[in-house]
Structure formats: C-alpha cells, structure tokens
C-alpha cells in the first residue's frame, strides 16, 4: 500500500509557514516514520532513501519495499553550533551519518545525549521524534532520529 507514496527524495526542511511542504511530508511518512526503503530482489542491495531502479542490475533488477531494522553505528558526525531556523533551541546537537546494519548511510540527529558522548563506531538505534513544527498553528512533522544504544 506504500509504494504509490514512496518517492526517492531526501529530507528537506520546508518549515516557516503552516502549509509549506504538506504534500511532500505526507508522501515521505513511510520513510520518516518507519525507515521504509527498497531492496533489489535480484542482487539483494538495499536502498535508503528508496530507489525505483537498482543501479547495478538495472533492467534485470526487481525493486520491492524494504523496512530497515533501525539499528546501525555512527559512521561520522558533526556538532551543530549554528543551527538552521527551527533547530536553534536544540544547539549544540550532534548530526550523524549512520551506517545502517543493512548497508545504507542515513543522515540524522543523534539525541538524548551530549554531543561529547557521540563517537564514531558507537551503536545507535532509531527513535521516533518531533523534527519541526510549522509554527504554533501549522502541522508538526515527526520522523526518525537516533540515540546511542546503552
């Protein structure tokens, strides 16, 4: 039921007004809430964000929906001190490149810890959090972030 709503697009911040980006947010709900990407049935390579065509197998590939486990490790990270609009009250915060156990790299905030607790190689798991809200009257956008595994 998801396939018609899954589009291979990266997360972009489109806050600021209460209506902006409503349709693209809705389209990305399967990705944002549940890390739903795709897998090539032919070569078993997994993609996040989802791809519609396998770049290796091309016309021989067979793409299907795949739900990632939501666990991985920190491949790299940076600490944000000059945060974009909508994130300024969270600074300083860690933004990581997470290597999911299935392979793909995902960019996400690493929360529930101080930035100096974040280290390359540490194990992380997905959590469901508020990303931003379109003002007091707009929609609240939720999605994946990661936290350190105890």
Which of 15, 61, 72, 96 is the binder for another protein (CB under 8 A)? 15
Which of 3, 62, 112, 119 is the binder for another protein (CB under 8 A)? 112
127 binds another protein (CB under 8 A): yes
Which of 1, 10, 23, 82 is the binder for another protein (CB under 8 A)? 1
120 binds another protein (CB under 8 A): no
* Helix (H), strand (E), coil (C) string for 18-48: CCCCHHHHHHCHHHHHHCEEEEECCCCCEEC
Parallel/antiparallel/unpaired status of strands 63-67 and 46-47:
unpaired
23 binds another protein (CB under 8 A): no
34 binds another protein (CB under 8 A): yes
Nearest 5°: the CA angle 57, 60, 66 is 70
Joined tokens for residue 58:
């091309």
8 binds another protein (CB under 8 A): no
Torsion sign over Cα 109, 149, 69, 101: positive
52 binds another protein (CB under 8 A): no
Whole-number Å distance between alpha carbons of 33 and 59 = 30
Give the binding site for another protein (CB under 8 A).
Answer: 1, 15-16, 29, 33-34, 67, 85-86, 89-90, 111-112, 127-136, 138-140, 142, 145, 150
């Amino acid at each position: 039921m998801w396939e018609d709503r899954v589009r291979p697009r990266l997360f972009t911040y489109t806050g600021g007004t209460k209506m902006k980006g409503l349709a693209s947010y809705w389209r990305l709900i399967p990705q944002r809430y549940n890390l739903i990407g795709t897998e090539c049935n032919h070569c078993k390579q997994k993609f996040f964000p989802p791809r519609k065509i396998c770049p290796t197998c091309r016309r021989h590939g067979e793409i299907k929906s795949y739900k990632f486990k939501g666990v991985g490790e920190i491949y790299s990270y940076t600490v944000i001190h000059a945060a974009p609009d909508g994130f300024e009250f969270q600074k300083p915060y860690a933004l990581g490149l997470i290597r999911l156990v299935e392979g793909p790299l995902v960019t996400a905030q690493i929360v529930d810890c101080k930035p100096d607790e974040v280290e390359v190689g540490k194990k992380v798991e997905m959590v469901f959090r508020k990303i931003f809200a379109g003002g007091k009257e707009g929609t609240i956008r939720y999605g994946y972030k990661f936290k350190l595994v105890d």
